[in-house]
Amino acid sequence: MISGLVQILLFQSIGELVSKFALPTLPGPVIGLVLLILWLVVRNGVNPELASVADGFSQYFGLLFVPAAVGVVLFLPQLKANALAIVSALFGSVILTIATSAVIVRFLTPKPKGVD
């Protein structure tokens, strides 16, 4: 279990270093997560120690929503005042994401032979 935790902290530390010196616009934990995923792809799987730590962390994901809920309650008057703009941005971003994903999937899907 300790080696799994060390792996997670190692990749987060590497991500922080890369963020500090090479890619300051990206957060270090995000870079570390991408590096960890690439490492797991290269290794063709997750070792049991890392899986054990990941399972332990996933039991407490619900706690991550507590600060967001507090923020919503705290800023409820501002959210009500800007509800139209927020809803428009949400719908617009969803539509743009779906359209972009469709174009990318269509571009990356192999074409059947004999069809131009």
Neighbours of 32 (CB within 10 A): 22
- Residue 15 contacts by C-beta under 8 Å, 6 or more apart in sequence? 27, 28, 29, 30, 31, 32, 33, 34, 35
| Amino acid, res. 72 | V
Residue 3: pLDDT band by 50, 70, 90 thresholds?
Answer: confident
Residue-wise pLDDT for 74-104, tens only, equals: 999 999 999 999 999 999 999 999 999 999 9
What's the total number of domains in the chain?
A: 2
Q: Tell whether 73 and 113 lie within a shared domain.
A: yes
Q: How far is CA 53 from CA 24, 38, 39, in A?
A: 29, 18, 17
Q: Tell whether 40 and 13 lie within a shared domain.
A: yes
Question: What is the domain extent for residue 54?
Answer: 1-59
* Boundary of a domain, candidates 59, 84, 99: 59
* Boundary of a domain, candidates 21, 36, 59: 59
What's the chain's average pLDDT? Answer: 90
- 3-state SS assignment for residue 18: helix
Model-level pTM? 0.57
Residue 116: pLDDT band by 50, 70, 90 thresholds?
Answer: low
* Boundary of a domain, candidates 41, 59, 77: 59
Q: Tell whether 10 and 42 lie within a shared domain.
A: yes
